Amino acid sequence: MDFKKLADEVSQEVLAFSRDTSGWKVTKTSKKITISWKPSRNYDGPLYRAEGIIPETPAKLIQFMYLPEYRSKWDRSLHTYRILHRIDSDTFILHTITNSFAMGSIAPRDFVDLVHIKCYEGDKVIVSSVSVEYPQCPPTSSYIRGYNHPCGYVCSPLPENPGYSKLVMYVQPELRGNLSRAVVEATMPTNLLNLIHDAKDGIKAQKAHSAHASPKGHSSSLHKK
């Protein structure tokens, strides 16, 4: 498989999502975060969009969202988050294992995704991903292997405050297994809200830690379902 070609195609598809303003239906809002959806063109299910404002620049926020040394610390939905293989500096194969959610009614899933980071005009940064088959990480009996149709994060600086970013997430996962569509659609909006809340909290915690660690002055002291 030509991973680099596929990565570029998926990045363009996520960019097209961000330019599509029609047909979205708001399903949940909380603390200036909005979750909406529309029918997906990739599978028989919804394409979700989650929007929020994050107190960080796009360049720094994107690293915070995808690098394992950051993501594994703040994303409570994930049990495992690891890069399996780097194709180039902006493209890699990622393996994730989720924790159970919906009060345990949805068992953990694992995903193997092709991830690509690309910068566009106006300091817009897109992290796009899509599930792929990767022989070095085959499905196992321990987890149900899910599938992510083209999805990603779009980060743009706020015109009125470039130190802040508008984060827009597009996701369209197939969790597979024996889950009903109704169960997935009932839980996904809340999961997306929690993800943006956790990202905000993680950014705040990191900034607080950095501020505390910075030297001030010249101190001498120194069930599957």
| CATH classification at residue 77 | 3.30.530.20
Q: Does residue 220 fall inside a structural domain?
A: no
Domain hosting 151: range is: 3-207
Look at the chain and report how many structural domains it folds into.
Answer: 1
CA distance 48 to 31: 18
Cα Rg of the chain (Å, integer)? 18
Split at pLDDT 50, 70, 90, the class of 225 is low
Residue 77 covered by a domain:
yes
Strands 147-148, 144-145: pairing kind: unpaired
pLDDT for the residue numbered 214: 60
Span 181-210, pLDDT tens digits: 888 888 999 999 999 999 999 998 888 877
The type of residue at 103 is M
Question: Span 162-168, mean pLDDT?
Answer: 93
| Mean model confidence pLDDT for the chain | 90
Assess whether pLDDT exceeds 60 at residue 223.
no
Q: How many CB atoms within 10 Å of residue 201?
A: 12
**216 falls within a domain:** no
What local confidence, expressed as pLDDT, does residue 222 receive?
Answer: 40
Q: Give a yes or no: residue 42 inside a domain.
A: yes
Q: Structure pTM? A: 0.90
Least confident of 5-19, 92-106, 138-152: 92-106
